[in-house]
Each structure stands twice: as structure tokens, then as C-alpha cells.
Structure 1
Amino acid sequence: MYHEKLPETKLNSTFPTLKVLGWLAVTLTLVAVVYLMGPQAEVDESVTAPKLPDNLNSYLWVTESQYDLRPDTEKKIVWSNPRSPQTTPYSVVYLHGFSASRQEIDPFCEQLAFELRANLFLTRLAGHGRDGEAMAEPEVKDWLRDALEAYAIGERLGRKVIVVGSDTGATLALWLALREEVENLKALVLFSPHFSPRNKLSGLAAGPWGDQITRLIVGTHHEFIPETPEHARGWTTRYRSEAIPTMMGLVKLVERLKLQKLTTPTFIAYSTNDKVVDISRIEQRFAELGTLFKVLVPYDEPGDPSYHVLAGRILSPRNTEPLLAEVSQFLSKLPE
């Protein structure tokens, strides 16, 4: 009886290939499971603003004197009338960006407050204004608490609050605007809001093993070269890499916000050449804003070599006045 022979060579060569593919699939599955089960910072949003005493200047002096701050980085109130401090119709609150300080866009906020005859509060986010080691100390919840404190002080300074934010400070401002306890917010003025980094590798910092991956890519510290001595004094130019996952944790938190619910009038300025953040996400998220009063203003050449800091004597001095004019015009058209 004739029996057809199987093609042994082809069959035998197929089995090792299938075996390798099987092991590869198992290995990749295990790697994925280990990655997804890795340590990941959880963001605690159950924060509240601290109770403020009557004397705000004394409160700020006591709380800020605990830290080894660089000059001119501490939290500060600028009264519209220093000789007779009192509540003004509006107050301006400034939330600075990651690794920066209240010097970031100075004197923009001072000039805006002067035009509005408003009191001004310039905050300091936890870990900032100190040495680079301190940047590893705060968690996202500490920055959320700083934002709530800044707004609470703003409410004490003015009957309506205008929040100005740059970079991650702008990200914080959007989170703040959607909080139930925030009832007297007149407008948001946001510069280069950080919705997503331009370097997509930074996104890994917000995921599982974020600290470990960041340390592997960046090292123990991240450092950038300042443009001027003033830039070096106003920013933390070398800091622990653990600060990056914290910053990205805030970005990830705001990424989940339903901006369609935001009804606060919002002015956003950004550079179309920004080297730090993803401008396509700025444009996309701007379109999602639920408010009827919103403006998106592009600047091609703000002055900052990174096209990110849009105003201020340190990095973009020639853009301060034009930006102030745009913001003033926007605010003047808002309903009372």
C-alpha cells in the first residue's frame, strides 16, 4: 500500500519557528505585565486650602521663612495702595511654571495689576526657589494645595480673581478653575499651557516605573544652561530627576479634565515654535473649552530661545508690552 510521505524538512523547520514565536509572545506578555504592575505615583486630589489668618503678610513671612529660598522667589503680595492696603475690585494671582519662580514673566503681572488697580499675589510652588535637591520633595498634591492657597489669598485681596499661569502654572490654573469651591474667578490668562511635552519620552515619566525610567534616561539630575545670570537666579537650573515624574503627574491629571465644563473666560497665548510643549495639544484642548469667551493668540518670535516663556524682562522683554495689550483688551470685553 502506498503512503504519501509528509514533507519532513518543512514541518521540522516550522516547529522551531512556532516555538520561538510562542516564547517571544510569553516573554512580551510577562514584560507588559511587569511594566503595568510597576510602582506609579497616585495623585491625591483631596486637598483643601489652608485656613488663612487676618494678617496675610505675617502669615506668608512665617511660612516662607522656614525654607532656604533664593532672593526674590518667596511668595509675595503687592498691594495696589501700599499705604492703605485694602480689598480691590479685582485681584491678580500668578502661578509660575515648572522649575521657575515669580520672576518668570516679571514685570507682566505687576503691570497688569497696575492697569486694573488690583492687588497682586505671586505664589511659589513647593520645592521651587530653593536648591535642586528640594525639587524632589513635593508631590502633585502639594502643588494643588499651593494653587488653592493662592486662590484663597486672591479672594481676600479682590472681590473677583484673575489667575495668570505660565507653563505648568497654566496647567494648575485649569485644574483650579474646575474646583467647586472656586466661585469668584473672573478670568484665566494662560501662557504656554503644558498639556503634553514636545518630547514624548517625557510621557513615560507619568507611567509605571516612572521614577526608574526617568533616572535611566536622564540620570540622577536634570540640568539646563541658563541664558543669563538673571535666568540662573530665577529658575532652578539643576534639579533631581524625581521632580519630572511629579510634573508629568500633574499634566496627566489635567489631561483627564473635562474642559467642556469650564465656563471661565480664558485667554491663551502660545508660540507656534515652542520647543518645550506640544502645541497641537494646546490647540486641541483650547477647542474643548466650554466657555463662550475664549481667545487663542499665537506668537512666532517671543524672544525666549525655547519659544516658551512669552513675556518678562529675563527671556522675552520685547513681548511683554504687546502681550499686556492683548490681555487688557480681552479683559475689557468681558461681561461684568
Structure 2
Amino acid sequence: MFVLGPRTSTTLPPIVPVSVPNHPNTLTQWLAQREGAAGQLRSDTQAHIVWADPLHPARADCAMVYLHGFTASQGEGAPLHVKLARAFGCNLYLPRFPGHGLQAMDALRGIDAVQLRQAAAEALAVARVLGERVVVIGTSMGGALATQAVAADPGQVQTLVLWSPLVRERDEQLRVLGWPWGSQLLLWVKNSGDPVMRFPVKSHYWAGGSHLDGYRALYALSRGGMQPSVYAQVRVPVFVGYYYHDAHHQDTVVSVDAIRTMFTQLGTPPAQRQLLAFAQAGDHVIASPLRSNAAPQVFMATCRFIATHGGLRFAPTISDCEHAWEH
């Protein structure tokens, strides 16, 4: 009877196109109303728009959208996402995924991969309202969601940037969720029956715990959505950065080997994609100065890649990228 026990499903329905307000003013109002009704948010975790010209908010030639990681928020990518948008004259959309950014420790109760995928599709729809050309940036879980959203509608995006993307977690730590009674095993063996798993954090931009439902969502998102057939649908320029120094000093959250394999299976022509290890990052979150020793290098490499391959009308020089980082 054990083998008949419940498992976490990895079957994901197709991403459904999402409609959002199609004017910047109504978009801002819609976003403010929704975030205001979200519940108690931690400081600076709400979804918002950073306008290229704050005095005259309007659609720009380009928009960037940053998709944050699991239990994180937009601050995970700061200040790199703001500096990149400024360097290219883009509007910037900083969404907040369902269940994230909230003060409640069990905020991810009830979350699933379908909700997260649809939220990513919505974020891209907002970005298309904000700019004619769209650059999508994602960290970790946000990288997985960015990959899947772009694969579902590749013609709507100019460039994809993946920082430490979740393809598989390190050492397949969530594989137990695919076993019969796997959720129950994880709940009782690893967490003494408490559905909220707690962990230390270095900033309020990350939650200090996650409900088990969040891990089930990650498992389904990676096993069901991060597959070669999906990567083949990504045909836009792609930059992939990750932490790896050697076998003993590398990302402890996601699998570096899985990232490297995914990169070779992208539908993007080889000349338009770049895979780059940041040996000095020292942390999974390579773009955050709060955790990474390589944030300036990540910024410069990303800025150069977008300038060279991004297809945006304004392409900053290396010195422009340096100036954007310093200011």
C-alpha cells in the first residue's frame, strides 16, 4: 500500500495568456490597489514600477522585469536591476510573487506551481505595457519562471537574463516529494511535523520560513517545467550567471551541473548566449551585495551582454556600464 500513497504532481497545464491594464496610469492604480489588499507586507517588498522618467511616467522603448527567487522579494536583485534599467533607459517592473513578501510565516500555504507560472506570465504582460522591447531577469526560482514564461511566448521578449536559475536543487534535495507519501516524510522526518520550515536570513527581503506547500511548488516547477522541450523554445539571447569556484566552493542551493546542461539545450543560437561562472560570489544570490562578493562583476557582465546582444535601441558602452554601476 505504501507505493499507492500520494505524490507531488509534476503535471503542469500550459501557461494561459494574461491581460493587464494597457495604459501606464491605469496600470499604476491597478497595481497599488492590489498590493494594498495583499495583507501585511514586509518593508519594501511590494510590487512596484520604477519609471525611466519619474516626472513623466510613460511607455518607454524598453522595459525590464525582475523575477525574484523563492521566499525572496525584489530587494534580492537590488540595486542591480535599477542600475541596469537606468543604463538602458528602461522602465522597470518589480513584481511580487503570490505568498511572497508577507509577514506571516505560513504565507506560502496553498501556493502551487500553476499560480507562480501565471504570475510570471502576468509580470511579462505588465512589462510589455511599459516598454516596446522587454528584458526579463530572474534569480533562482525566478529564473525558472522566466525561462518557462519566455518559452511559452518567445516573440514577446528581447533578452533573457538568468542569475543562478533553478533547474534542479543541489543534490536533488526535494526528490523525496516525488515518492509515495513524500510530503508526509519531509514533514515529519525533516521538520517534526511542523508544516512551516524555518531558516536564518540576512535581510528582511527574504522570509524566515516557508510552508511545505512552497517546496511542493518548487518541486513541480522544476520537474514539470524545466525540461529540454522547454529550453528548446527559448530562442532569444540568454545570459546565464552562477556561482562556481571549484568542487568545494560552489552554489549550495541549486545544481551547477543542471544549469550547465540546460544551457546547452537552449534554442538560442550559440553566438547569442553566454554562460559565466562567478568564482568569487561565495553565495547563491550572486547579484545581491547583501550576500555576494561579485555583485559588481555580475552587473558589468550582464550590462555588456545586453548592450551587445539585447537588441535595444540604446546600447551603452563599457564606460557607460561602469558609470551606471558607480552612480
1:326 maps to 301
2:323 maps to none
After TM superposition, list the pairs within 5 Å mapping 1:22-171 onto structure 2: 31-32=2-3, 34-35=4-5, 38-41=6-9, 42-52=11-21, 54=23, 55-67=26-38, 68-130=40-102, 131-171=104-144
1:285 maps to 262
Give the secondary-structure state (helix, strand or coil) at the position aligned to 1:315: coil
Task: Judge conservation of contact 2:99–2:111 (CA < 8 Å) in 1.
Answer: yes
Hey, what's the Cα distance between the residues in 2 that align with 1:199 and 1:213?
A: 18
Give, in angstroms, the shift of residue 326 of structure 1: 0.6
Q: 1:194 to 1:206 in 2, by over 3 A?
A: farther
Give the secondary-structure state (helix, strand or coil) at the position aligned to 1:63: helix
1:239 maps to 210
Q: 1:242 to 1:138 in 2, by over 3 A?
A: closer
Cα-to-partner distance string for 1:265-322 (whole Å, 9 max, x where unaligned): 100000110011111111111111121111000012214xxx2000223212x42221
Task: Judge conservation of contact 1:175–1:257 (CA < 8 Å) in 2.
Answer: no
Hey, what's the Cα distance between the residues in 2 that align with 1:173 and 1:50?
A: 18
Hey, what's the Cα distance between the residues in 1 that align with 2:226 and 2:163?
A: 17
Is residue 294 of structure 1 aligned with residue 246 of structure 2?
no
1:17 maps to none
Name which of structure 1's ranges 131-140 and 148-157 shifts more when overlaid on structure 2: 131-140
Hey, what's the Cα distance between the residues in 1 that align with 2:173 and 2:310?
A: 42
Q: 1:335 to 1:241 in 2, by over 3 A?
A: closer
Instruction: Output the amino acid matched with 2:263.
Output: F
Hey, what's the Cα distance between the residues in 2 that align with 1:191 and 1:119?
A: 20
Give the secondary-structure state (helix, strand or coil) at the position aligned to 2:106: helix
Give the secondary-structure state (helix, strand or coil) at the position aligned to 1:133: coil
Task: Judge conservation of contact 1:211–1:242 (CA < 8 Å) in 2.
Answer: no
Task: Judge conservation of contact 1:210–1:245 (CA < 8 Å) in 2.
Answer: no
* Structure 2 gap segments, 5+ residues each: 245-249, 312-327
1:8 maps to none
* Structure 1 gap segments, 5+ residues each: 1-29
Task: Judge conservation of contact 2:137–2:162 (CA < 8 Å) in 1.
Answer: yes
Give, in angstroms, the shift of residue 206 of structure 1: 4.3
Q: 1:46 to 1:110 in 2, by over 3 A?
A: closer
Identity in percent = 26
1:225 maps to 200
After TM superposition, list the pairs within 5 Å mapping 1:183-222 onto structure 2: 183-219=155-191, 220=194, 221-222=196-197
Hey, what's the Cα distance between the residues in 2 that align with 1:207 and 1:156?
A: 42
1:20 maps to none
TM-score, normalised relative to structure 1: 0.83
1:13 maps to none
Task: Judge conservation of contact 2:15–2:149 (CA < 8 Å) in 1.
Answer: no
Hey, what's the Cα distance between the residues in 1 that align with 2:108 and 2:171?
A: 21
| Greater relative CO (CA pairs within 8 A, separation 6+) | 2
TM-score, normalised relative to structure 2: 0.85
Instruction: Output the amino acid matched with 1:333.
Output: T
Aligned length: 295
Task: Judge conservation of contact 1:162–1:189 (CA < 8 Å) in 2.
Answer: yes
Instruction: Output the amino acid matched with 1:299.
Output: F
Structure 1 or 2, whichever has the larger Rg, is 1
Task: Judge conservation of contact 1:196–1:251 (CA < 8 Å) in 2.
Answer: yes
Task: Judge conservation of contact 1:99–1:128 (CA < 8 Å) in 2.
Answer: yes
Give the secondary-structure state (helix, strand or coil) at the position aligned to 2:152: coil
1:315 maps to 291
